[in-house]
Chains A and B, each alone.
Chain A
Amino acid sequence: CTSIVGQDLNGRMYHARNLDFGLFLGWDIKNNTWEITEKLRPTIRILEFQRSGKTLYKTVNYLGYIGVLTGIRPGVFTLTMNERFNIDGGFVGIFEWLLGNHTGQWMSFLTRDTLEQAASYDDAKDRLANTPMLAPAYYILGGTKPGQGCVITRSRQKAIDVWEMSSQPANSWYILETNYDHWKKPMFLDDRRTPANKCMQKLTQKGMGIAGIYDVLSSKPVLNKLTTYTALMQVDSGHLECWLQYCPDPCYPF
């Protein structure tokens, strides 16, 4: 996955992501595709969660999956989640949970609870950073004000790092996360971070917006054979749009 929060020259905040899923879940040698990735695409929908006829929050989901990986609370914050691989992973959390320790939250239910209940960017950040969880994760959060963007690196117990958009003077107009701790180098076989950063630099803040960020997320290898969709959000207007993604050959498998 690749998630980006950024602001244009007017301080308008954008948040976008590619959702990549299906690695090692069956390679179709005839079509050069991942089997589960192909099956997931037709189930993708934007969901508008409404109460009393008013939209409370919007998400992008694979139907049948009720948690949240991508969502917006209009006018308040935007949120995406990227997978974090760790030996102290969800399997350990589930084992503890089965033994009766229910203190940890399920990752995707925590994001949905946050979208439903958090009243502000700071409130959302606090919930995502400090709620014990069953599995590690990266939460990428965007707010309404310039500079309000962060990547929360989660262990099962707590945030081990909160990386603020405003903390990187050279590129303070955006923050970008793939599937690796930002203070470490990504695995060389799976470095989407460097290409994505280069495309963002080429885009420049002047080009920041729905179309520009879509271009970045459509650039290989940020776009790859695992990419199921690109979601684009603008928090003030509450805008969320989503496009199915395909990666025509030649294309990297992940």
Chain B
Amino acid sequence: SAQVPPFTEKCVQGTYPPDLSRKVPTVIINLDLKPQDRWTHVVKDMKPQIEDLLVAFKSFIRDFGNWTEAIIKLVDNDFGYLADELPAPYGDELKGIATASGLPLGEVVLYNIFYEIFTV
């Protein structure tokens, strides 16, 4: 149903404001709290959504074959130590997120350095 590239523009008008159901809500991050505690309230509320994302990503990785299971285990079990190497306060913030969400620290670290890994 779409054209062959290069794609040509369809400049729309009058689309603002969109439906309010699409408005992104705001949450407060209190920098006066210890880094480990800053994200707790947010992550606890959003745990299912974050978990859902990481499960989908792991499922996508698994589609490449059984050998990828070793990579997932490596991330879950051995990637967490990288949090100690990250600059302050970021390592401690990630540890706080892992604790509050119950997700493996390695996965939380990987999620946060995703850009550096995939820019190639």
Give 1 or 0 for each of A225-249: 1 = CB within 8 Å of chain B CB: 0000100000000000111111001
Name B77-120 residues within 8 Å CB distance of A: 85-87, 90, 93-94, 97, 101, 103, 108, 111-113, 115-120
Given contacts A43-B46, A47-B26, A250-B1, A91 and B93 within 8 Å (CB-CB): no
How distant is the Cα of A221 from the Cα of B10 in the complex, in angstroms? 8
How distant is the Cα of A137 from the Cα of B27 in the complex, in angstroms? 27
How distant is the Cα of A135 from the Cα of B39 in the complex, in angstroms? 26
CB <8 Å contact, B119 and A91 = yes
Q: Does B65 belong to the interface (CB within 8 Å)?
A: no
Contacts of A44 in B (CB 8 A): 24
CB <8 Å contact, A251 and B2 = yes
CB <8 Å contact, B117 and A221 = no
CB <8 Å contact, B6 and A188 = yes
Residue of A whose beta carbon sits closest to that of B26: A46
B82 to chain A, nearest CB (A): 8
Report which of B2, B24, B28, B86 forms a contact with A48, defined as CB distance below 8 A.
Answer: B28
How distant is the Cα of A92 from the Cα of B10 in the complex, in angstroms? 39
- Per the CB 8 Å criterion, the residue count for chain A at the interface is 82
CB <8 Å contact, A94 and B2 = no
Contacts of B22 in A (CB 8 A): 243-246
CB <8 Å contact, B31 and A86 = no
A220 to chain B, nearest CB (A): 5
Contacts of A65 in B (CB 8 A): 111-112
CB <8 Å contact, A220 and B120 = no
Report which of A25, A50, A102, A105 forms a contact with B60, defined as CB distance below 8 A.
Answer: A25
Name A117-156 residues within 8 Å CB distance of B: 134-137
Contacts of B119 in A (CB 8 A): 83-86, 89-91, 135-137
Q: Does B53 belong to the interface (CB within 8 Å)?
A: yes
B58 to chain A, nearest CB (A): 11
CB <8 Å contact, B49 and A46 = no
Q: Does A169 belong to the interface (CB within 8 Å)?
A: no
CB <8 Å contact, A64 and B111 = yes
* Most chain B CB within a 10 A radius of its CB, from A64, A190, A198, A244: A64
Give 1 or 0 for each of A18-61: 1 = CB within 8 Å of chain B CB: 00000001100000000110011011111111111000101010
How distant is the Cα of A134 from the Cα of B26 in the complex, in angstroms? 30
Give 1 or 0 for each of B1-23: 1 = CB within 8 Å of chain A CB: 11001111111111111100011
Interface residues, chain B, with chain A CB atoms under 8 Å away: 1-2, 5-18, 22-32, 39, 42-43, 46, 49-50, 52-53, 56-57, 60, 63, 85-87, 90, 93-94, 97, 101, 103, 108, 111-113, 115-120
Interface residues, chain A, with chain B CB atoms under 8 Å away: 25-26, 35-36, 39-40, 42-52, 56, 58, 60, 62-67, 83-87, 89-94, 97, 102, 105-109, 134-137, 188-192, 194-196, 198-199, 202-203, 210-211, 214-216, 218-222, 229, 241-246, 249-253
A-B contact pairs, 13 of them (CB 8 A): A39-B53, A50-B31, A63-B43, A64-B97, A83-B115, A91-B116, A91-B120, A137-B115, A192-B7, A210-B16, A211-B16, A218-B16, A221-B9
